[in-house]
Amino acid sequence: MSDAQAAGSNDEERRRYLRLAADFDNFKRRSRQELQEADRYGPAGLARLLLPVLDDADLALRHVPEGTDEQWARGLYLVLQKLRGGLAAAGVERMEALGQPFDPRLPEAIDFVDTASDRDGTVVEELRPGYRLYDRILRPALVKVARRAAGPPDDEAAATTAS
């Protein structure tokens, strides 16, 4: 093998080594990023399972029968607060929808309410709260959206005023 061939072979091996080193660095970066995402968004599955429990406990607290021991209701409230605190510590937060302009990317509209008093496209009722985990939606809110009540058509309005 001549010196030129040996030098060319060394250059090729050096380029191959540099490509492999770059690939390995990229692999380490991707792995680190995936671990960070798993750590950040890992609680999503458990949170999705706990949200219906939170909904039910909220509902129970809103409908405590008359004559129920106040200490029992207070205990339920404290348990509910612990559950909310645990979810918040994991990054889960409730999304406020009521009174907000409807954004189809966040809540799910399941009905429209004809109204003369609310602005068109405003969320007027929240049937189920929505939650997010940092920047990801865990569960969209189920809402009702205001829509302007349709008045009589212009032809009928003109006919009524002409009479």
Q: Where are the alpha helices (DSSP H) in the chain?
A: 3-41, 44-62, 70-89, 154-162
49-53, 130-134, 155-159, range with the lowest pLDDT: 155-159
Q: Mean pLDDT throughout 145-152?
A: 74
Helix (H) or strand (E) holding 127: strand 123-128
Instruction: Share the mean pLDDT of the chain.
Output: 86
Q: Mean pLDDT throughout 2-29?
A: 86
- Give the pLDDT confidence of 45-70 residue by residue, as tens digits: 999 999 999 999 999 888 888 888 89
